[in-house]
Amino acid sequence: ELSVLAAKHAYSAADIQTLNDWALDKGLIVIPLIQTFGHFEFVLKHQEFADLREVEIDPMELCPSYDRSFEIVKLMLDQVMALHVRSEYMHIGADEVFHIGVCDRCRGRLSGEAEGIADNHDLFLSHVARVGHHIRQNKPDTSVIMWDDMLRNISAEKMKELGSHVQPMVWNYRWMKHRENYPEDMWRRYFSVFDRIWGASAFKG
């Protein structure tokens, strides 16, 4: 079902095993990253998966309210986990989800059809928690990492259940001294919800 997604230059299973063995020998940790929400154009650009789009003419974000969306994400995650059996970490992306709550399915949930879904923050959190739960259900000792930008303006109260599923990785394209990207109380909220918070550099050349 996912064969159309394979890139011509993709690593083979043997290549990945070799890289993992090399990293282990050198004392390095391999953290697989697979986008599971936004930046999903590598899937949604294909007509076979166009029905998963949040916006019909935009292949960037999947619809978090469509069961098939989650089934495809699970297939991808299961394949990656099977190739990284030693890895204690999995990065699920989830950054820059610019369109959410737009399609008919999501609007239906927001209109009261789904209990506990009051706004776009709830839509986002429910999908991310579902992804994190799936990974930890299959590999309980795995730490699930996600980019933090979509969490920066969500209350600690809304995020509290997410703390058992994922760990945020704080990132920015600019130096940390440019604090306009970070709400004043962001760190306080993060530390009240998550046991571990990561930091990452980013380069946009």
CB 121, CB 158: distance < 8 Å: yes
Cα distance between residue 147 and residue 38, in whole Å: 11
Cα 32–chain centre separation: 12
In the annotation, is 96 catalytic? Answer: yes
β-bridge pairing 53-55 and 58-62: antiparallel
- Active-site residue, from 1, 54, 56, 96: 96
Q: Mark out the alpha helices in the chain (DSSP H runs).
A: 13-26, 41-44, 67-83, 104-108, 120-138, 156-159, 186-193
For residues 146 and 171, give the distance between their C-alpha atoms in angstroms, rounded to a whole number.
Answer: 10
Measured CA angle at 71 (ends 70, 76), to 5 deg: 95
The residues annotated with a catalytic role in the active site are: 96
